[in-house]
C-alpha cells in the first residue's frame, strides 16, 4: 500500500514495529497466545502511533474488532509451482492489481497455494511485488466482504511491510493463518492507496477469522 505524506522517520518506526510484532508472533509456540499479542499490539498502534491509518480524530476511541481464533484456519502450505523471486517472470505470470486509488500495481505470480478448508480445497495465488523492495503479497476476498469485513478484501501477507507469518524456504512452504487476516489501510481512510485482491483470490466461502469492521 502507499502511505500519504508522513514523516519518513515516523513511517520507518511504524514498519519497524510491525516487523518486530510479526517476529514475536513467529517465535511463539502457542498460536492462541500469539494471536492475542497480535491483536493487542495492533490495536495499540492503531490508537497511538502517528502513522496509524485510522484518522487522527478517531484514534483515541478506536477499538479493533476480531473474530474468535479458529485453529482449523491455520495452514502450512507448499507453494506450487515454486519459483525464485529473483528469476525472470514469465509473461503470463505478471499481473497488474487494481488499487483503491491511483494506478494499478504490478505483481508477479509465484505459484498456487491449495488450502484444504473443511468445505473443500480452494486455491489462492501467492504474488511477489515487482518493485524495488519486493516482498510476498497475499490478499483475498471472501463472503464476509462488504458486511463484517472491508469490501475490497483483506491481507494475509505483505512481507515488504513486515506482515510475515513465516515458512520454510528449504521445503517450499508458507504459513497461512486466516486468523491473522487484516484490513488494508484504505478500510480506515480512503486517502490511503491499497492494492486489492486479485479476481483469482476471490473465495466462495465466508471466513469468520481475523480482523472485522462490524
Q: Supply the pLDDT for residue 99.
A: 73
Q: Supply the pLDDT for residue 132.
A: 67
Taking alpha carbons only, the member of 147, 138, 214 closest to residue 178 is 138
φ, ψ for residue 52, nearest 5 deg: -60, 140
Q: Supply the pLDDT for residue 89.
A: 42
Q: Supply the pLDDT for residue 125.
A: 96
Place of cell 511504524: 14
From first to last of its 214 residues, what are the pLDDT tens digits of the chain? 455 556 889 989 999 999 999 999 999 999 999 999 999 999 999 999 999 999 999 999 999 999 999 999 999 999 998 544 444 444 347 778 767 766 777 889 999 999 999 999 999 999 998 876 789 999 999 999 999 999 999 999 999 999 999 999 999 999 999 999 999 999 899 888 888 899 999 999 999 999 999 8
* Cis before 202 (ω within 30): no
Q: Supply the pLDDT for residue 188.
A: 92
Q: What is the Cα–Cα distance from 35 to 151, expressed in whole angstroms?
A: 23
Q: What is the pTM of this model?
A: 0.88
C-alpha cell at 145: 466482504
Q: Supply the pLDDT for residue 133.
A: 75
pLDDT digits (tens, 9 = 90+) for 21-50: 999 999 999 999 999 999 999 999 999 999
- Provide the CB-side half-sphere exposure for 197 (13 A, CA): 25
Domains of the chain by residue range: 65-212
Q: Supply the pLDDT for residue 102.
A: 66
Amino acid at each position: 500500500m502507499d502511505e500519504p505524506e508522513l514523516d519518513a522517520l515516523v513511517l520507518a518506526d511504524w514498519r519497524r514495529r510491525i516487523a518486530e510484532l510479526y517476529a514475536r508472533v513467529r517465535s511463539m509456540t502457542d498460536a492462541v497466545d500469539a494471536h492475542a499479542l497480535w491483536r493487542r499490539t495492533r490495536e495499540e498502534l492503531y490508537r497511538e502511533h502517528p502513522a496509524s491509518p485510522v484518522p487522527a480524530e478517531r484514534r483515541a476511541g478506536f477499538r479493533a474488532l476480531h473474530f474468535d481464533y479458529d485453529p482449523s484456519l491455520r495452514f502450512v502450505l507448499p507453494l506450487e509451482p515454486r519459483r525464485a523471486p529473483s528469476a525472470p517472470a514469465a509473461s503470463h505470470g505478471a499481473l497488474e492489481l487494481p488499487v483503491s486509488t491511483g494506478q494499478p500495481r504490478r505483481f508477479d505470480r509465484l505459484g498456487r497455494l491449495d488450502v484444504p478448508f473443511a468445505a473443500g480445497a480452494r486455491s489462492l495465488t501467492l504474488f511477489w511485488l515487482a518493485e524495488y523492495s519486493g516482498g510476498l503479497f497475499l490478499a483475498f476476498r471472501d463472503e464476509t466482504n462488504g458486511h463484517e469485513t472491508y469490501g475490497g478484501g483483506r491481507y494475509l501477507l505483505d512481507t515488504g511491510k513486515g506482515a510475515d507469518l513465516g515458512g520454510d524456504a528449504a521445503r517450499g512452504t508458507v504459513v497461512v493463518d486466516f486468523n491473522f487476516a487484516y484490513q488494508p489501510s484504505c478500510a480506515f481512510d480512503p486517502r490511503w492507496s491499497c492494492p486489492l485482491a486479485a479476481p483469482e483470490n476471490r473465495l466462495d466461502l465466508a471466513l469468520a477469522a481475523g480482523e472485522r469492521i462490524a
